[in-house]
């Protein structure tokens, strides 16, 4: 490879990463919860963490859902965010959006009954979680 082809390949890689990041930001922006739902949902964080831990240890949870939940925990623990916190309107909510997407996907696999059985919080908190995830009553 010549020096120019290496630089061209590097430029293509940087552009691809930038475009991928912008697509991800757009996806998260479209799937962000409303302000009326985001504030109560942020209060659920301790219960959601216990729910995730409970679903991972539940033998009825499918393996694919467990893998997604372990990945979710790893993302939440990581100090690196997909969306920097300084971006207005979405920066501080990226964790909530990722949680909602993963739990919605997981909820469809395990069912509303399993989510309820593993929910450590109260009924009002579970109702908020159901609204956030867009799962039926």
95-106: pLDDT as tens digits: 777 888 888 899
Contact predicate 41/96, CB 8 Å = yes
Q: Tell me: the pLDDT tens digits for 9-50?
A: 888 888 888 887 778 777 767 766 666 666 676 677 788 889
Q: Angle at Cα 71 formed by Cα 76 and Cα 56, nearest 5°? A: 100
> 105-124 pLDDT, tens per residue?
998 999 889 999 999 988 98
**Across residues 78-102, what is the average pLDDT?**
72
Which pLDDT belongs to residue 39?
A: 66
User: From the centroid of its chain, how far is CA 107?
Assistant: 13
Q: Is the pLDDT of residue 86 over 80?
A: no
pTM tops 0.75, yes or no: no
Which contacts qualify for 114-119: CB closer than 8 Å, 24 or more apart?
114/55, 114/58, 114/60, 114/61, 115/51, 115/55, 118/51, 118/54, 118/55, 118/58, 119/47, 119/51
| Measured distance CA(43)–CA(63) in Å, rounded | 28
Q: Does residue 85 have a pLDDT over 80? A: no
């Amino acid at each position: 490879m010549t020096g120019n082809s290496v630089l061209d390949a590097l430029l293509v890689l940087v552009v691809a990463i930038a475009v991928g990041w912008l697509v991800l930001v757009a996806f998260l922006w479209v799937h962000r919860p409303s302000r009326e739902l985001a504030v109560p949902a942020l209060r659920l964080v301790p219960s959601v963490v216990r729910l995730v831990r409970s679903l991972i240890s539940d033998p009825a949870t499918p393996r694919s859902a467990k893998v997604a939940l372990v990945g979710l925990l790893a993302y939440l623990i990581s100090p690196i965010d997909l969306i920097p916190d300084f971006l207005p309107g979405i920066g501080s909510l990226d964790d909530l959006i990722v949680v909602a997407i993963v739990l919605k996907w997981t909820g469809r696999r395990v069912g509303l009954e399993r989510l309820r059985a593993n929910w450590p919080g109260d009924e009002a908190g579970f109702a908020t979680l159901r609204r956030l995830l867009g799962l039926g009553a």
